[in-house]
Amino acid sequence: MPDILESVEDGVATLTLNRPEALNALSEEIRLGMHEAIYRLGNDPAIGCIIITGAGRGFCAGGDVKSMAGRSSRVFEERAEGIRQSNRIPALMNSVPKPIIGMINGVAVGAGLSMACACDIRIAAKSARFGTGFIKIGLSGDWGGTWTVTRLIGTAKARELFFTGDIIGADEALRLGLVNQVVDDAELRETTMAMARRIAAMPPIALGYTKRNLSAAETGDFATSLELEAVHQARCSQTEDHREAVAAFKEKRKPSFTGR
């Protein structure tokens, strides 16, 4: 079986990490497959939303610790370049115009936590567990986790989690703002798919520019955001989808969006 599975339903693409025996720890096949799939699906006009999840009882346990001994013997420059290649994945998750939902079905630790936090929305099962994990194996963090976790939950708590490597439960993750929703395990897929279908039904050009606005707001100043809003709003106002939405509002009917 491949290490990553892909399916499409109602305009929603689901990528499933498929190493359940290793709690979906990252393999080279997962890294390469995620990069290729997110780029392709993120630019596919037939796809409105992407879900990332894991097979079995784990979302992603991060790097495969069993394989790390060999990697640590590489020269510094080679190792740094390998990490840069992996870091292309969260960068791509941030930049593609399609919203990405993390369906957190179990443990999300290390790079698995960073992957979850690179998603636009996170919906967690009650059994899900979260942790930075890096410090416990003598590492400092990758996949953008120090950036995303800090922005989601604030500096003080992010430092605590990174310095201690503590594991927190789903309810605590919700309280901190690390996830958007927590649901019973049996309801996770249905709840996530319902959210994904709602998003996929929205006008795709406007979705893409909205994601760009929100990403820019995390790092830019107010003036930059205002300018981006002006340009992006003007672009969206010229789409057929905007005209259709206005007509549907006037006619008191549901709009039909085409992505044009």
Contact 55, 16 (CB under 8 A): yes
Instruction: Give 248's contacts (C-beta < 8 A, 6+ positions apart).
Output: 254, 255, 256
Pairing of strands 107-109, 49-54: unpaired
- pLDDT greater than 60 at residue 106: yes
Question: What pLDDT score does 68 carry?
Answer: 65
Could you read off the pLDDT of 70-90 as tens digits, one per residue?
666 678 888 889 889 999 999
Helices (H), the chain: 28-42, 68-72, 76-95, 111-118, 145-153, 155-164, 170-176, 188-200, 204-217, 222-237, 240-251
- pLDDT greater than 60 at residue 69: no
Question: What pLDDT score does 146 carry?
Answer: 96
Could you read off the pLDDT of 132-152 as tens digits, one per residue?
999 998 998 999 999 999 999
| 59-68, 109-118, 165-174, 178-187: the lowest-pLDDT one | 59-68
Could you read off the pLDDT of 157-183 as tens digits, one per residue?
999 999 999 999 999 999 999 999 999
Give percent above pLDDT 90 in the chain.
Answer: 89
- pLDDT greater than 80 at residue 66: no
Question: What pLDDT score does 73 carry?
Answer: 64
- The CATH number given to 4-200 is 3.90.226.10
Mean pLDDT (whole number) for 216-239: 95
Domain ranges of the chain: 4-200, 204-251
Mean pLDDT (whole number) for 230-250: 95
Binning pLDDT at 50, 70 and 90, where does residue 67 land?
low
Could you read off the pLDDT of 192-211 as tens digits, one per residue?
999 999 999 999 999 999 99
Mean pLDDT (whole number) for 24-35: 95
The pTM (predicted TM-score) of the whole model is 0.93
Give the closest residue to 62 by CA, choosing from 122, 145, 147, 126.
145
Q: What is the mean pLDDT of the chain?
A: 94
Question: What pLDDT score does 104 carry?
Answer: 98
Question: What pLDDT score does 114 carry?
Answer: 97
Q: Check if CATH label 1.10.12 holds for domain 204-251.
A: yes
